[in-house]
Amino acid sequence: MKPTIYNIKPGKYRHYKGNEYEVIGMALHSETLEEMVVYKALYGDGGIWVRPASMWNEEVTVGNQRVPRFASIEE
C-alpha cells in the first residue's frame, strides 16, 4: 500500500466559501493510488464526497488574499 503523504485528520472543516464538512477518512484511488479525502456535507442532504488530497490542501485566492480551500474547525 502506498504511504500517506497528506496529513488530513478526521474532523470538521470549513470551505473558503463558508459551508462546513466533516472528513470521514482517507482513501486511495483504485487505479492511480492517488490519496483522496472522503468527506460529508454538514448541510442539505449531507452528501458523501471524495476529493483529491492535493486539492483539499490547496490555497485559493479570495480578493487579494491566499486562504486554505478547507480550514480545520477546532472545537
Residue-by-residue DSSP string for 29-49? -TTT--EEEEEEESSTT--EE
Confirm whether 1 is domain-assigned. Answer: no
Confirm whether 40 is domain-assigned. Answer: yes
User: What integer pLDDT is reported at residue 42 of this predicted model?
Assistant: 97
Mean pLDDT of the 13-27 span? 96
Q: Which domain holds residue 19?
A: 11-72
What CATH number is associated with residue 24?
2.30.30.320
Q: Residue 74: pLDDT band by 50, 70, 90 thresholds?
A: confident
Confirm whether 55 is domain-assigned. Answer: yes
Confirm whether 6 is domain-assigned. Answer: no
User: What integer pLDDT is reported at residue 1 of this predicted model?
Assistant: 53
Confirm whether 64 is domain-assigned. Answer: yes
- 2 against 17, higher pLDDT: 17
Number of structural domains found in the chain: 1
Confirm whether 3 is domain-assigned. Answer: no
Distance of alpha carbon 49 from alpha carbon 24, whole angstroms: 10
| Percent of the chain whose predicted confidence (pLDDT) is above 90 | 84
Confirm whether 2 is domain-assigned. Answer: no
